[in-house]
Structure 1
Amino acid sequence: MLIPIRTSTAQQPCILLAGDIGGTKTNLASYKYDGKTFSLLKENKYRTKSYDDLGKMISDFLAGDKTPDRMCFGVAGPVLNGKVQITNVPWGIDSKQISGLYNNIPVHLINDLETTAYGLAVLEDKDIHIVHKGKHTPGNWGIIAPGTGLGEAGLYWDGTTAHPFPTEGGHCDFSPRTTLDIDMFIYLKKKFGHVSWERLLSGPGILTIYEFLRDVKEMDVPAWLTDKMLAHADASALISENAVSVPICTETMNLFMRYLAIEAANLALKVKATAGIFIGGGIMPKNLKYLDAHTFIRWFHDFGRMKHVLEDIPVKIILNDKTALLGAAWYAVNPNE
């Protein structure tokens, strides 16, 4: 256990269904819970947009299996009164509707970054890459996770246990610092209207940074790369794969890392994350070779009068890509009472 997270007094052995529902892919898994540990029974991945609703996806996953005793889904979007419209996906979820399909069992919907936070309850040291050790100061934690979008969450420390809470901080305004950032803001403003951090700190954001450097800063693009970009299903992955040898790709990833350091520090200050910042999502574990920890932390600390506060905050990257799924399983048996 990396963080002592609050537990429920109503834990019971059960079979549960957990889900991590993102804008690109959805992971579903069934677990047997014996009152102490989770045993994986089955797991499948789905393309989210290949389905018109979650009910059909669950039906395909269970495919004749016994109905689970409870379900929990971490969802990329703001959950309000048991309902959510998934960000970047044209359909939503209603927990009561899903429950009604399965004998009115408990069905919980929480934000996907909230499930990531709960997942920290079951992670181990091997699941973490330390960027900056900092100091162990009791207090809150923050989580920032660039993926298909940008998720942010916090964990409130009550002196004994941590209590995860969701935010929609990834949709807050991007704040430029340099003249290049201002040019970036103008470019994004024309393209999107509202310029949020998610427009830069996400898979699509990597492509956006690349296009800005190509179209506005007029950096050279090799003809072979242009051809590959047209044929490649994941242009952002292609950019990161060539960051060592192609200057425009190198600068794209440098800017991505700088913006991530800045927004991670913004989050740390907003939730007073003296105990640490965790970086989740699928992008960073795949791009550790491009992470210059010294430079990243210099950007993270560059906040004027708050530099001394940020210098003490540990910064860690979550390597386990099942963290949100494990967090959903954990919440299914430890719901807020």
Structure 2
Amino acid sequence: MPQLDTSETAMPFPILIGDIGGTNARFAIIPDAAAEQIHFPNVRTADFETIDDAIRSCILEKSSLRPRSAILAVAGPISRDEIPLTNCDWVVRPRTMIDGLGIEDVLVVNDFEAQALAIANLSDDNRERLGDASGDMIASRVVLGPGTGLGVGGLVHARGSWIPVPGEGGHVDLGPRTARDLELFPHVETIEGRISAEQILCGRGIVNLYRAICAADGIAPAYSDPADITSHALAASDKVAVETINLFSTYLGRVAGDMAMIFMARGGVFLSGGISQKILPALRRPQFRAAFEDKAPHSELLATIPTYVVTHPLAALAGLSSYARKPESFGVSTDGRRWRA
């Protein structure tokens, strides 16, 4: 099979890679295609007015290695020279980076494209399987990441390449199915009149769900921080918190199963992000996998699809690193998302 022409895809080393989240930004420099990457401490986005200031202060002033290229993964649509981020105040301006930071080549991708790139070659050491379905079929995959929001990314295998598919799957509608759901959903905070998956399946969504249970049952809420709800749930020290995380796992299973069917993800569904790792004990229980497979008339199909929690601490950077080193292995579109000096 002919290989892709790398003359237009390869970027000059050293390459700065960055995963820009709502709260933290993570950076590393790859000196060359064969070298270990150099990681830097996490950057709090609120501590710097711009991403350029953060890169200058935390990377360029700390390292003698000068990046010639940058590949940045951001939350938000990429459609013009100024890219506002969804969950923080930074605006990525690639041309300003080229003019002010001495970088020759900038590529900006969606944050869940980076997560999708990571799951192409994720080792067993960096994932934990949920349920009995197993296998490493070279087939479409999906990654979901409940965190500040709910990210979703697809990964399609075609013509010898992995092709990441960015989207806004976290904003699909999520509706009630059971009698308990019908009691709770009238109390879930809506967004412009509807309940999207992200209204429940993210950090603030845990609080939304907890408050809905309290309202339905006539209980005064005791917690307003998702970390408190999660910790009490895992310790089984508060029954409302326990139900919150059990239902969170169920709803996550439903949405994960929906995405598996949309992408026919026989290669697996991967749960990334900090919340998935924190509630791993809950996800090991039957609720997640039962909801995932409960997709009549296709339950038998869903039962064959493996599901995993990504345990790699820097999965998005790992995905960007894989692309930076071997761009010919991935069908990443750079149209309208790459700027050169």
Match in the other structure for 1:208? 208
Judging changes above 3 Å, is the alpha-carbon distance between structure 1 residues 217 and 134 closer, same or farther for their aligned structure 2 residues?
same
Q: Distance in 1 between matches of 2:202 and 2:154?
A: 19
Corresponding residue for 1:3? none
What's 2:258 paired with? 266
Pick the aligned partner of 1:252 from 244, 248, 273. Answer: 244
Aligned CA distance change for structure 1 residues 316 and 50 (closer, same or farther; 3 Å): same
Give the equivalent residue in structure 2 for 1:315: 307
Asked if 1:238 is matched to 2:228, the reply is: yes
Q: Counterparts in 2 of 1:76-155, with a 5 A limit?
A: 76-81=75-80, 83-121=82-120, 123-134=122-133, 136=135, 137-155=137-155
Q: What is the aligned counterpart of 1:44 among 41, 56, 67?
A: 41
What 5-or-longer segments of structure 2 have no aligned partner? 335-341
What is the deviation of 1:311?
1.2
Give the TM-score, by structure 2 length.
0.85
Name the amino acid aligned to 1:312: T
> Who is 1:75 aligned against?
74
Are the structure 2 counterparts of residues 193 and 85 from structure 1 closer, same or farther at C-alpha, using a change threshold of 3 Å?
A: farther
Q: Distance in 1 between matches of 2:109 and 2:5?
A: 16
**Quick one: which amino acid aligns to residue 267 of structure 2?**
A
When residues 179 and 21 of structure 1 are mapped into structure 2, their CA distance, relative to the original with a 3 A threshold, is same
Q: Tell me the SS of whatever aligns to 2:292.
A: helix
The 8 Å contact of residues 141 and 154 in structure 1, kept in 2 or not, is answered as yes
Which runs of 5 or more structure 1 residues have no equivalent in the other structure?
Answer: 1-5
- Say if 1:8 and 1:203 are closer, same or farther in 2 by CA, change over 3 A: farther
Determine if contact 2:146/2:274 at 8 Å carries over to the other structure: yes
Residues 82-119 of structure 1, C-alpha deviations (whole Å, 9 max, x = no match): 65321122332132332232335111111111111112
Counterpart Cα distance in 1 of 2:172 and 2:190: 17
Aligned-pair identity (%): 28
Match of 1:29, SS?
strand
Distance 1:96 1:132, change over 3 A: farther
Give the Cα separation in 2 of the matches to 1:142 and 1:324.
14
Check the 8 A contact 1:17/1:70 in 2, yes or no.
yes
Shift of 1:142: 0.7
**Could you tell me how far 1:192 is from its partner in structure 2?**
5.5
CA-atom RMSD, angstroms? 2.4
Structure 1, 325-334 or 298-307: larger mean CA deviation:
325-334
SS in 1 for 2:265: coil
TM-score by length of 1: 0.86
